[in-house]
Amino acid sequence: MADIKLVIKIDEEYLEDIKERVKDGDIDYEPWVAIANGIQLPKGHGRLIDGTRVEQHLKQKLLKYGIFPQYRQGIELALNDVMKIAPTIIEADKESEE
């Protein structure tokens, strides 16, 4: 069976109860354990996007519109800087990166 990543909305108190019960060994049912071990999205996060896809799209547009090489290099350097500081919320899916 293949793993999938799933985003769900759950009451904070309910999640804490699940985590505590899993930690205490009261629950070992896999779906509840998966919820307890899930990655919490940071409060106030912005729109979650596929940064790799944005980067690829921008590079294609730079080539398509014939941006002069000296400008293209500056734009790509700026994009690389932005991508380095952007926080990773969920790691990339290795299958879809190829």
Q: So where are the chain's domains?
A: 7-38, 51-97
Q: What is the DSSP letter of 83?
A: H
Residue 45: CA atoms inside 13 Å, Cβ hemisphere, count? 12
pLDDT in tens, 14-50: 999 999 999 999 988 988 899 999 988 888 888 888 8
Q: How far apart are CA 4 and CA 7, in angstroms?
A: 10
Q: What is the pLDDT of residue 72?
A: 75
Residue 95 pLDDT grade (very low, low, confident, very high; cuts 50, 70, 90): low
- Tell me: pLDDT of 92 over 70: yes
Q: How far apart are CA 43 and CA 37, in angstroms?
A: 18
Sign of CA dihedral 8, 86, 74, 97: negative
Structure tokens at 93: 């899916």
pLDDT top residue among 11 and 74? 11
**Region 39-68: what's the mean pLDDT?**
82
Closest CA to 74 of 58, 54, 86: 58
Number of helical (H) and strand (E) elements in the chain, helices listed first: 5, 0
